[in-house]
Amino acid sequence: MDAPMPASKKLLVTLFCLYVLSALSNGVLSVALGDILAEFALRNTGQGLLNSSSQLGCLFSYLLIPLLQNRSGRAALLCAGVGLAGLMQALMGFSPGLWLFLFALFFCGLGQGFLDSGINSLVIGLSGEHGGRVVNLLHMCYSIGATLSPLLLTLLLGGLGWRKTYALSGLLLLAGLLAFLLALFLHRRKAGAAPLPKDKPASWTGFGRLLRDRANLCAMAACALYTAAQYSLVNWLVVYLSEELGQSDARAAFALSLLWAGIILSRFFTSRARGNSLRRLYLGFFLCAPAYMLCLWLGGYGAVCAAVFAFGLLCGHGIPTFLAWLGAHNPDHTLTIVAVCNLCTGVFGALWPMVVAALRGAYSLRSALLLSGLLLLFSGLFAYDVDRGRAHAPNRRERGDRVGF
């Protein structure tokens, strides 16, 4: 199988590196949370306040993008997001009080939302017919960065403290912005270089048409359901193994690392494979969901490890595959549809922990994790509907054949 060869490799490599830096910067809060709570004399409920400030900023950015995309291209929005996130992280490192820290945290989340949607839409547009494969490779790099960042950040916190670590993270983002601007300058000077992809101006009527498209709605629903299932495991697996199965912290952390290993491998294999990645995805959902629920029901440590690794390996390419499909299906409004999808998954991802907590209180944490298997099944059904509708589309562009789906 040949590796994808997109048009502007240097520009794409810069975007990949910038996404890894984004993963690193996103991990600072979770690693430094204890020190921040102690310095600002916050109780454990303060964790929700800090996380909510960042998440609200990110969700607000997804609301703004459809309004801003008529005035700025994908590259301009990406640059604004990286610059804002970098400056706000540096400010967080020097903030003397809690309210200034929360202010900077909100706008850092806003910048991260612009950054995420801008990078994904740019990579989809630059990758041409290899969109699904290249976006999976992009998200594989992000997953590697997210997996390694806790170790690196823990070392930095031990030597620098949380304030200097935040300032350093912000400076790294700003350095990444300069590297991207240089790569963009060289790309535009290159003879015969294709112009950067840009969304067409959208009216409210056109925006409504995007949301009335059955395929768009099904793909976004599938992405939101899968994301909730993945986040359930990422956030609760260690707690489940420690509290309900009596496993040590080391064994619980190892099980979580198996999940991330499966996700990374899934995205790597998808980036190398040809053919219908959407069909492979929902077949993986249908195969994984019953096996996953059976292993969790059995309840042994080995069965749980097998379940979470299979989850990652068979389903881990869900988010990049859905985003790439949406971008290919809406080539003139990729930035808008990616932002709307991120908004849907963000809102659902924020509400789902409440469902998990309620089930944990009423029944057990295992029952909540078992429900993740049902989310996978429903996500697979929505993805199947998208693929079936494309198979009956009258032309290649509507089917998405040109992008390797």
Complete DSSP assignment for 167-231 = HHHHHHHHHHHHHHHHHHHHHHHSTTPPPPP-PPP--HHHHHHHHH-HHHHHHHHHHHHHHHHHH
Question: Tokens 């907590």 correspond to what residue?
Answer: 357
Distance separating alpha carbons of residues 33 and 398, to the nearest angstrom: 46
Distance separating alpha carbons of residues 68 and 178, to the nearest angstrom: 23
Residues in the chain: 405
Mean pLDDT confidence for 282-293:
89
For a pLDDT cut of 90, what percent of the chain falls above it? Answer: 27
DSSP helix, strand, coil percent of the chain (3-state; round to 5): 85, 0, 15
pLDDT (tens digit, 9 = 90+) per residue, 311-330? Answer: 999 998 999 999 999 988 88
Residue 291 in contact with residue 88, Cβ under 8 Å? no
| The token pair that represents 317 in the structure block | 């390419």
Whole-prediction pTM: 0.85
Q: Report residue 47's pLDDT band, with 50, 70 and 90 as the boundaries.
A: low
Q: Report residue 48's pLDDT band, with 50, 70 and 90 as the boundaries.
A: low
- Mean pLDDT is lowest, of 255-264, 271-280, 375-384, for 271-280
Q: Report residue 401's pLDDT band, with 50, 70 and 90 as the boundaries.
A: very low
Give residue 404's region: left, alpha or beta (phi > 0; psi -120 to 50): left
pLDDT score at 38: 82
User: Mean pLDDT highest for which of 185-199, 240-254, 360-374, 376-390?
Assistant: 376-390
pLDDT score at 115: 93
pLDDT score at 2: 46
Q: What is the mean pLDDT of the chain?
A: 83
DSSP summary character for residue 191? T
Domains and CATH numbers, the chain: 9-189 (1.20.1250.20), 207-391 (1.20.1250.20)
Q: ∠ at Cα 25 (170, 112), nearest 5°?
A: 90
pLDDT score at 397: 43
Distances (CA, A) of 341 to 254, 348, 349, 394: 31, 11, 12, 25
User: Mean pLDDT highest for which of 50-64, 205-219, 273-287, 313-327?
Assistant: 313-327
| The token pair that represents 360 in the structure block | 């944990």
pLDDT score at 403: 41
Distance separating alpha carbons of residues 113 and 134, to the nearest angstrom: 20
Report whether pLDDT(153) > 90: no
- φ, ψ for residue 349 (rounded to 5)? -65, -30
Distance separating alpha carbons of residues 385 and 328, to the nearest angstrom: 17
Residue 285 in contact with residue 385, Cβ under 8 Å? no
Distance separating alpha carbons of residues 320 and 339, to the nearest angstrom: 13
Q: ∠ at Cα 369 (366, 370), nearest 5°?
A: 85
pLDDT (tens digit, 9 = 90+) per residue, 222-232? Answer: 999 999 888 88
Report whether pLDDT(119) > 90: yes
pLDDT (tens digit, 9 = 90+) per residue, 190-232? Answer: 756 666 777 776 665 666 778 888 999 999 999 999 998 888 8
For a pLDDT cut of 70, what percent of the chain falls above it? Answer: 89
Q: Alpha-carbon torsion 31, 35, 39, 44, what sign?
A: positive
Residue 199 in contact with residue 74, Cβ under 8 Å? yes
pLDDT (tens digit, 9 = 90+) per residue, 29-42? Answer: 877 877 888 888 77
Q: ∠ at Cα 257 (292, 294), nearest 5°?
A: 10
Per DSSP, the three-state class of 86 is helix
Higher pLDDT, 347 or 71: 347
